[in-house]
Amino acid sequence: MKFTHYYGKHKRQNDCVIQTDRVQNKGKTLQIRIDNELNNALDSLSKELNQNPSKIARDVLEDFFLTKKLQDQKEDIDDFLKRT
């Protein structure tokens, strides 16, 4: 994201600079609401592993989609083997 130092009639005369307080091209931010039970489980796991709750949540989501991808691939292979 780019912004200029000045706004108004002088905005075209200024150089564009990159914001330093924002993450640049690192991915999307996901905001979700979770119930207390899930929040407590996430907090306890993050304390147990000494990691941020956001990293734990990201790892859980990645693991879920990896497992789903592997199951889909296994089903495709089984279908292929049945046809041959």
At 26 the pLDDT is 67
pTM above 0.75, yes or no: no
- Could you tell me which residues come within 8 angstroms of residue 4 by beta carbon, excluding any fewer than 6 positions away? 11, 14, 15, 16, 17
**Rounded distance, CA 84 to CA 80, Å?**
6
d(CA 21, CA 1): 11
Report the candidate in 31, 34, 58 with the shortest Cα–Cα distance to residue 46.
Answer: 58
Q: Give the model confidence (pLDDT) of 9-30 as tens digits.
A: 555 555 556 566 665 666 778 8
